[in-house]
Structure 1
């Protein structure tokens, strides 16, 4: 296979370390690093010095979060992507929605993967003993390996002919009432990742072949053209994150055989067991527990959400299914 079309798989033999480029596997010096969250984004949204808690409960600042990256990958692959995203973001929500979905996927994926391999590199330190070591969970590693295969599209020209590996949602949030410049949430086990940037919320499941987006099609059609209140955006986010918990299949990705004249790879996808139920059954109590964590700042508890156990509280839709234009937040009634 031509050199520039060869794929790196760090999960074979768990090749993670501070001297291995995260993207191509070449040896790097201690100085060759790239920030997980791009410098321009930290500057624009002023979160470089904000604290971030890792799985082993250690706390770092966002600017401390760096991963090994060779000069070639940084210059020829990551920087051009950052330039495109920065340009799109300068045009607000319309710009981000117009951005090629594959580029948005790669951008979110790189930040997600950066936080993940920070954890994996730390786990190799015998003094660090996280409660749930990622490297000791075969099913999780299988997911991450599949995800990294498609993330190689950052470096290797790659086509996904009839799918996008994730579900991506870009929401318009009314930031006037509650200005929030930056918020970040991820969930390693379900491959969920969300970013709030001023009046925009991007929510993504990075390994579902857009099955969540497909399952939420009717809700998304109603929500996409609207501007949501922050409490509504948080609820939508909870619905997507909960769908990630319920997802019961792991997509796998296979390269088509490469011919001599090929200048790019083509990746096909399959779901291992087609007899599997795609989503486990929805449970109001589990969903309400997750929603309560998203609604903490409004003081709404799980008990409030489940006043009617059959119909959890919603700020998005009335019991009749109508979109709520101006939701009445409990305890804040005028």
Structure 2
């Protein structure tokens, strides 16, 4: 008998080391699973690398673990990580061969694992964060909706004509790439990027593919191209900024379950009547985002906005065609 019951930790704010993050089962503090899989840590030497959390405490990749029961760890997380590890070993084609829902689950687990860590730590923070996640009803509503669809990790689930995210797969030219592993996330805008070897996965969660549609032409131009790392940085800036101005929160509805059903079917609704899907694009705000992504190259806002009508771009030329780039030379 397949259990199709969804777990909702947000109802009672049930975030502690005593409950499995995925199913809510009561566990001991020893039951943990890494947010970033063991294979990632070993392949890219991440174990002792530091991470700064919202409350200003510092952890490392190997210390960043979340409460997880043996069943969820063994039956759901390990098989998914094994699939992604095998796909990643084959490069961009291997990652493209993964089902989109599997990529969503893989990214979602890392994103949500970081979020759960923040929610647990907010009960006794080192330094109270400026904006406590647990005190923002709008953000909690978004996270609750996201966790509903993330449970496709555990509960067989079909999304009806949508995917709860925008996924971008990009190939990176290794010639001037000094970072075999790189990751960034933004909790409030639900943006995430991870680079493993010559493959980058950029994702915006909980947008039902709208940002991918909005960036369709640019994404199409990158396909079949090996991007210079600075071009990847610009692509991430565009995606992360699109998530920043994204202005709606999808709702998800589970169709009534019949006794013979072996999976849930989810429908979605976005209120685009009372809310604009995107807030206005502000060039200065985008320049701030791009400047942040271009820090390794020390490119500042004034250089980005030298021509305010056409900000600095490494991806597109003046005619908005793809700009081939093998080497970066600072002017």
Query: What interval of TM-score do these two structures reach, taking the shorter chain for normalisation?
Result: over 0.9
- Check conservation: 2:51, 2:60, Cα contact below 8 A: yes
Equivalent residue number for residue 295 of structure 1: 294
Q: Distance in 1 between matches of 2:135 and 2:185?
A: 20
Deviation at 1:3, TM superposition (A): 6.5
Q: Secondary structure at the match of 2:175?
A: coil
Partner in structure 1 of residue 310 of structure 2? 311
Give CA deviations for 1:177-233 in whole Å, capped at 9, x if unaligned.
122111110000000011011211110001100000000111111112211111001
* 8 Å Cα contact 1:179-1:198 kept in structure 2: no
Contact 2:55 2:126 in 1 (8 A): no
Contact 2:255–2:265 (Cα < 8 Å) also in 1: yes
Q: In structure 2, how many angstroms separate the alpha carbons of the residues matched to 1:3 and 1:182?
A: 38
Q: 1:23 to 1:304 in 2, by over 3 A?
A: same
Give the TM-score taking structure 2 as reference length: 0.97
CA-to-partner distance for each residue in 1:23-68, whole Å, 9 max, x for gaps?
0001001110000000011101111111100001111111100000
What SS does structure 2 have at the residue aligned with 1:292? helix
Identify the residue that residue 164 of structure 2 maps to in structure 1. Answer: 165
Cα distance change of structure 1 residues 289 and 128 upon mapping to structure 2, 3 Å threshold: closer
Tell me if structure 2 keeps the 8 A contact 1:122–1:128.
no
Q: Is the 8 A contact 2:2 2:262 kept in 1?
A: no
Q: Does 1:46 align with 2:45?
A: yes
TM-score normalised to structure 1 length: 0.96
Q: Does 1:200 align with 2:199?
A: yes
Between the aligned partners of 2:161 and 2:154, the Cα distance in structure 1 is 20
CA-CA distance at 1:161 after TM superposition: 1.8
Question: Which region of structure 1 is more displaced relative to structure 2, 171-180 or 99-108?
Answer: 171-180
For the residues of structure 2 that align with 1:274 and 1:103, how far apart are their CA atoms?
32
TM-aligned CA deviation for residue 272 of structure 1: 3.2
1:231 maps to what in 2? 230
Per the alignment, do residues 44 and 327 of structure 1 end up closer, same or farther by CA in structure 2, a change over 3 Å counting?
closer
- What secondary structure sits across from 2:266 in the alignment? strand
Q: Cα distance 1:69–1:169, how it changes in 2: closer, same or farther (>3 A)?
A: same
Does the aligned pair in 2 maintain the 1:316–1:327 contact within 8 Å?
Answer: no
Partner of 1:285: 284
The residue aligned with 2:263 is 264
- Per-residue CA deviation, residues 235-278 of structure 1 (Å, 9 max, x unaligned), is 00100000000101001111000001101000111113534211
Are the aligned partners of 1:212 and 1:244 in contact in 2 as well (CA < 8 Å)? yes
Instruction: Supply the distance in 2 between the matched residues of 1:218 and 1:327 (Cα, whole angstroms).
Output: 22
Shift of residue 151 of structure 1?
Answer: 0.3
Aligned counterpart, 2:181: 182
Distance 1:286 1:296 in 2: 16
Any idea what SS the aligned residue of 2:288 has? Answer: helix
Secondary structure of 1:22's aligned partner: coil
Answer whether contact 1:77 1:154 (CA < 8 A) is retained.
yes
Helix, strand or coil for the counterpart of 1:29? Answer: coil
Partner of 1:252: 251
* Alignment of 1:91 onto 2:90: yes
Distance 2:123 2:158 in 1: 34
Q: Is the 8 A contact 1:171 1:200 kept in 2?
A: yes
Which residue pairs with 1:101 in the alignment? 100
Aligned residue number for residue 211 of structure 2: 212
Map residues 133-152 of structure 1 onto 2, 5 A cutoff.
133-152=132-151
Distance 2:2 2:171 in 1: 42
Aligned residue for 1:29?
A: 28
193-202 vs 106-115, greater mean Cα deviation: 193-202
Deviations along 1:261-305, one digit per CA (max 9) or x if unpaired, are 101000111113534211111111100110001001111101100
Mapped partners of 1:74, 1:328: distance in 2: 43
Distance across 2 between alignment mates of 1:122 and 1:243: 29
RMSD between aligned residues: 1.3
Q: Secondary structure at the match of 1:63?
A: coil
Aligned pairs, number: 331
Q: 2: distance between equivalents of 1:328 and 1:104?
A: 31
